[in-house]
Every structure is written in C-alpha cells, then in structure tokens.
Amino acid sequence: MGWSHVALAAQDSQPTLSAKPTLTVTVAAPQVANMAQKISANGNLAAWQEAVVGTEANGLKITEVRVNVGDRVQRGDVLAVLQADSLRAELAQAEGLLAEAAASAQEAKAQAERARSLQQQGFFSAAQLSQAVAAEASSVARVQSARALVQLQNVRLSQTQVRAPDAGVISARQATVGSVVGAGTELFRLIRQGRIEWRAEVTAAEIGRIQVGAPVQIKAASGQLLQGKVRMVAPSVDAQTRNALVYVDLPAQTGSARAGMYAQGEIALGQSQALTVPQTAVVVRDGFSYVYTVGTDQKVSQLKVQTGRQSAGRVEVTSGLKGDARVVASGGAFLNHGDTVRVVDAPAPQAAPATK
C-alpha cells in the first residue's frame, strides 16, 4: 500500500470537528401580557383658582397688614385694616339724623291721630286731615332714608377690614402700611383652598383617548411625586402649537411642589394586551433595538425589533418578532449573528426559607 493510501486512510479515520459553542444561554418564549397604556406629557403646575383681594373703600390709609406671602388663611380672616376714624364720625352723624327723623315721625304720627279724631268731631276739615296724614307719611320716609344712610355707613366701615373671601394660601401681597388705596386696588392674591393643578400639554391626536377621572402620576421639578386625576380636557386646541391642555386635580397637600413649577407626568389610559420579552433580552446597538433568537441548529439570529411599553421587568415588542420564537433571555450583548450557542434550562427559583 502506498503512502498516499495510508494518509487517506488516516484522514478518514479522524472524527469531524463541530463548531464550538460561543456562549451558554437560556432561552425564553415571548409572552402575551396585559400592560398599562399611558400618555407622557409635560406642563406647568398652576393655582386651581386665584382670587384677587382688594377693597371697595376709597382714599383710606392702610394702618395694619396681618398676613404675608405663604400664610394660610380661613374664610373671613382679616388680612389688612384701613383707617376708619372719618367713617366712624360719619356713622355717628348718620345715627343722629336717624334719631332726629324718628322723633319727628313720632310727632307727625301723633298729629295725624289727633287730626283724625277732630275731623270725626267736625272740628277739622278734610283738607286739614289730608295735610296731617301727608306729614306723617313724609316723616316715615325720612326715617327710612336715615336708616338706609346708617346701613350704608356701617357697610363702608366694615370695608375698612379687608377679609379673605375663601380659605387658602396668600400667593402675592401688594398691601403696605401707610399707603393710601383707592377702590378696587389689588392688595393680595389668594390661591383658593390652597389647591394647585397640573396643566399638561398633549397633542391633538391624543386628546380623544383621555377620559375625565383618569389617574395621573406627576413628577414636579422639585422631585415631589404626586397622584392626581383628570378633571377636564380643554374643549379647544391651540392654533399655534396644535396642542391641548389637560387639567389635572392634585391633592391639597403637595409637599415641595409649588405653583409655577414645571412637571412631567403620565396619564393612564387603561390596559391592553402586548407581546413581551424579558427586559434583559433586548440589546440596543447604534440606537436600534435587537433580540437574538435560537434556531434548531443552535445558531442565533439577530432580529431588529420595535419596542414599546415597559413594566415589571418586561418590554413590549410591537414588531419584528414572532410569538413562537426562542429568545435569548440574557447575554445577547456578547453575541453576533450566526454564533453557535449551548442552550441550558433556566435555573429554578429558590424556595423561600421556612419560618419557625
């Protein structure tokens, strides 16, 4: 036998070498799960309602300011006091006029009764009786006028105490001791009931999906997390930005969150079914998302996918993956398309230690 035949025989006797696995991996099948639908939005925190507090008194000097910015007040609390000396004098004068008119009315009433009696006895003519009755009616009218003037002066005197129209928080103050104010001058601003709201901007395509009462999670610029509910969706869309406002009620106690802050939030829309994979199965490269699937030949294939919602360690895959695929559960960042892998079973979850 020649050397060539011996060499060929030796070559034929060697076993065929198979490709060595690049990595040992575990695989997982995509699962269909219910996931919450949400809309992310940005917006500002603002006062639910802001009341402007002023005075109807004119030309009076402020003698006392009892509150400052940030103070909480109750309905009817005195916020500022105006000088009332001249108004008290005018009230005293009006009360004097009322007393004088009342005395005159009492005298006129007595004269009218006397005239009626004398007219029945034939001593007074009908004309004289008519004059006495008219004098009585005129005196009654003067009493009513004087009483109205007293009420007016009492109202003007009460206006020297500027009171809170509602419970809330003082958000601005222009009142200064010693300044003379005119009727209608703004002295304070009040956030009614201390309530603030989130005014989120959403696109025109999203407003139809948002329902009144939907729960909202908000994160203010201060880091405060707040839970709210949609109170109202604006009936119109801004012609410039093409966005609409969603008004979200927030709890009365908002911690470090303040009106005027910027905030981000998510508006819940309900739940829907989604095809999901473990979050560790998704590999991001060059700005795109990929998953690796294992075929029957133990080789991996790289698939470009579109991802969506995330929840409880799982990611929604909206396109690019079939429901019966065998997905590499973790370690995909170390794989390349076409690599051979060894598949092992996922480790069983450890049982919780028994309590004594």
Q: Is the pTM of this model over 0.75?
A: no
Residue range 100-120, pLDDT digits in tens: 888 888 888 877 777 777 767
Q: What is the pLDDT of residue 346?
A: 61
CB-CB contact of 218 with 283 (8 Å): no
pLDDT at 349: 46
| Domains in the chain: boundaries | 23-35+273-343, 39-49+194-271, 59-81+162-193, 84-159
Q: Is the pLDDT of residue 10 over 60?
A: no
Q: How confident is the model at residue 122 (pLDDT cuts 50, 70, 90)?
A: low
Region 39-49+194-271: CATH code: 2.40.30.170
pLDDT at 45: 94
Q: Which stretches of 195-300 are DSSP H helices?
A: none
Terminal Cα-to-Cα distance of the chain (whole angstroms)? 80
CATH topology identical between 23-35+273-343 and 39-49+194-271: no
Q: What is the largest CA-CA distance in the chain?
A: 177
* 229 band by pLDDT with thresholds 50, 70 and 90: very high
Q: What is the mean pLDDT of residues 208-229?
A: 91
Closest CA to 37 of 322, 319, 318: 318
- In tens, the pLDDT along 278-293 reads 888 899 988 899 989 9
- Residues 57-83: pLDDT tens digits? 888 999 999 999 989 999 999 999 999
Query: Do 78 and 166 form a contact (C-beta atoms < 8 A)?
Result: no
The architecture (CATH level 2) of 23-35+273-343 comes to Beta Barrel (2.40)
H/E segment holding residue 12: helix 3-13
Cα gap 230→210, rounded to integer Å: 8
pLDDT digits (tens, 9 = 90+) for 302-331: 889 988 888 788 888 888 888 888 888 887
Checking DSSP bridges between strand 60-65 and strand 50-54, what pairing results, if any? Answer: unpaired
Strands 288-294 and 31-47, bridge-based pairing? unpaired
**pLDDT confidence of 19, banded at 50, 70, 90?**
low
CB-based contact 35:311 (threshold 8 Å): yes
| pLDDT for residue 6 is more than 50 | no
242/207 Cα distance (integer angstroms): 11
pLDDT of residue 26: 86
Q: What strands lie across the sheet with 161-163, from one edge to the other?
A: 161-163, 78-82, 60-65, 180-181
Beta bridge partners of 91: none
- CA–CA distance, 78 with 76 (Å, rounded to integer): 6
What pLDDT does 109 receive? Answer: 81
Choose the CATH number for 59-81+162-193 among 1.10.760.10, 2.102.10.10, 2.40.50.100, 1.10.510.10.
2.40.50.100
